[in-house]
Amino acid sequence: MSIIENGGAGYQRQKPVSLLQQSNYEAEDDVTYHKMRQLALCNQSNGLIQDKKRIIKAGQLGTHSACSVINPGTLYRDNEFLLLCRGEPDETVWLGDFLAYQPTPLWCTLDSDLNVKNSFPLSYQEFPSNSRPEDWRLFEYQGKLYTNHSIYMMLDREEWIIRSRVGISEIDLPNQELKLRCILEPPFEASHEEKNWSFFVHDSSLMCIYSFKPYILLELDLEQGTTEKVLEAEPDYQWYEKGKFVGNSTNLTSWDNEHYITFIHDFLDPRYDQRNRAYMQYATLISKSTLLPTSIIPRPLVIGGNELGRHPGVHYTSSLVNREDGLYSFYGEGDSHVSTVVFNKNELTELFNKYHLYNKKNSPFGIMKGIDPKKGIIVSYPRSGLNWLRYCIEHLTGLRTGGRTKLIENGELAVYRTHDVKVQDENDECYCPFYDQQGKPLHKKVVLLLRDYRESFIRIAKVKQGEAPTPKEIRNGKVFHFRNYFENLKAYDQFSGKKLLVRYPDLISDFSEVTKILDFFKLPYDVKKFDLEHHRQQSFQIYDDQHKSYTKDNPYDFKFHQNGVDPKTIEAIEDFTNENYGDLVKRYNL
């Protein structure tokens, strides 16, 4: 709960809650809360959670932690966990007066089994007056140990005007001190409350995720105390249900050779005590090549509501440690204690593989690798049979295909698609990038759907202007985007990976071409109860509703469109094609 929000009234100025007293969580929206609890993966018997336990309880570290010890930043070095916790000596902060008592940064060393070996408080020699630092995360940069943290500043007590900013402090363990290096401002208009920036070091540069929606990445100059925006994007997040916003929870840590991992959070408001929000924690992977999110598990890994402490809604994850035996998530339990959840990495990997993001933004660090190269892509010029193929894929696999909804509206994509291999950042799932910024294919497998180019030209002309151009117009260059047909074929021709060419007449007249494609992409399916003619008619109807079908009554007339135009128009199309793409026409017997 923000100190700024509600001018302190959110704390209700109630009688302090005893450390031994367990309060209850009641949601403002009980229906949504119970729905989110059902969605939360921690409530599923799926082996995701290996262990969960409290490791430091309130009061355990002396008077500095008499009220609370919470929200640790964590690193793992030399078989030891290094924690920097927030110690609260008094209840006053929960009642709204955040300057009455200062929190204490508590340094703790734990052995590899999470037993506390030693601890001591750190102190600031200098710090701005009427200010309060809290929630210290940890990172290493250029051989030194730092903490990024919030700083709340009282600008006008009478009017209760408060501002928060992100600070960076250098940690001096031999002298048990913290030195405030800078107070950061974003490189654009700041909000009253700037906090929870997620820091990491990438290629020797200090960076942070400023926000997830929109996705904004900043680079920092620690010496100058300045920030620069290097990336802004709008990834296509897919949620089952959501609360009010997406906020950063942890700094980034390495997940594997290609990704960082971080947690983000959302919350549901309580019915009474505004501090007692129910936090929901989500896991996301960030590409090390593009620094864009590649996967977000759209269901909460954990949700508050039953935490032990003064605020049972608060499960506030603040740091991650990635060890071989599991992903360790450290959190503030009920605004009272430090606890950890250990996640099964194999289970997380399966979930990340299931929930790839379709990203629609190029990054200065390279084209978005949120595209799973193993999934594969279907390349087709418009009106080349993709509607029928998409219908079959969705019905037989239960997985979604990109574009206007056929049968499946949400969920994982079965395979990527594009109508134009040259498009790299179209805000449309019909145009998944085919190449990276170096011109190399992003995908391991390619299927090309190929229709008679004469049919394709006339069909797209009907979309553009209702009828085919005259022979003279064609010879003068009126060919719309017909060159894309051959750019797609050229990309397929030059592709050195696994590829499959499927011609339109075969796809329409021989259902084994559909199963051949499913097998090529290794998609699971069952055709035992698939009534071919029934589903063919269903597919025609969907297509006719969304576009316009000219051939639904003559599906096997594969020269329907060219038979309806002047033969000189066909001759002009052929001349244009042979003049510009004669080698491909000959090689593919077009």
H or E, element range at 425:
none
pLDDT at site 407 = 77
Six-digit token string for 372 = 């799973």
DSSP letters spanning 541-577 = HHHHHHS--SSTT-TT-TTTTGGGS-HHHHHHHHHHH
CA distances from 227 to 205, 250, 302, 589 (A): 12, 19, 33, 58
pLDDT at site 513 = 93
pLDDT at site 196 = 93
Residue 39 CB coordination number (10 Å): 17
Q: What is the pLDDT of residues 171-180, one digit of tens each?
A: 999 999 999 9
Q: What is the pLDDT of residues 317-366, one digit of tens each?
A: 999 999 999 999 999 999 999 999 999 999 999 999 888 875 444 444 33
pLDDT higher than threshold 50 for residue 33 = yes
**Which range in 124-128, 404-408, 409-413, 488-492 is most confidently predicted, on average pLDDT?**
488-492
Six-digit token string for 426 = 């179209």
| Domain span(s) for CATH 3.40.50 in the chain | 377-587
**Average pLDDT estimate for 10-37:** 59
pLDDT at site 433 = 86
- In sequence order, the β-bridge partners of residue 167 are 149, 183
**Average pLDDT estimate for 285-314:** 90
DSSP letter for 10, please. Answer: G
Backbone angles phi, psi at 577, to 5 degrees: -65, -45
| Domain span(s) for CATH 2.115.10.20 in the chain | 5-354
CATH fold, domain 5-354, is Tachylectin-2; Chain A (2.115.10)
Beta-carbon contacts of residue 416 (< 8 Å; ≥ 6 apart): 371, 375, 376, 377, 378, 402, 432, 443
AA identity, residue 72? P
AA identity, residue 551? T
Plot region of 79 (φ>0 → left; ψ -120 to 50 → alpha; else → beta) = left
Q: What is the pLDDT of residues 407-420, one digit of tens each?
A: 787 777 889 999 88
Residue with more model confidence, 65 or 458 = 65
What are the strands, taking DSSP E only, across 173-204? 177-184, 198-202
Q: Are 27 and 278 in contact (CB under 8 A)?
A: yes
Least confident window among 152-166, 434-448, 477-491, 547-561: 547-561
Q: Give which of 280, 307, 315 is closest to 37, Cα–Cα.
A: 280
**Average pLDDT estimate for 370-387:** 83
Q: Specify the CATH number for 377-587; select among 3.40.50, 3.30.70, 1.10.287, 1.10.10.
A: 3.40.50
pLDDT at site 532 = 82
Q: Give which of 277, 251, 246, 278 is closest to 264, Cα–Cα.
A: 246
Alpha carbon distance 496, 588 (integer Å) = 17
Q: What is the pLDDT of residues 69-112, one digit of tens each?
A: 999 999 999 999 999 999 999 888 877 777 888 999 999 999 99
Residue 181 CB coordination number (10 Å): 16
Alpha carbon distance 562, 435 (integer Å) = 33
pLDDT at site 425 = 56
Residue with more model confidence, 162 or 340 = 340
DSSP letter for 478, please. Answer: -
pLDDT higher than threshold 70 for residue 383 = yes
Q: Are 446 and 377 in contact (CB under 8 A)?
A: yes
Q: Terminal CA-to-CA distance of the chain, rounded, Å?
A: 66
Alpha carbon distance 302, 177 (integer Å) = 34
pLDDT higher than threshold 60 for residue 18 = no
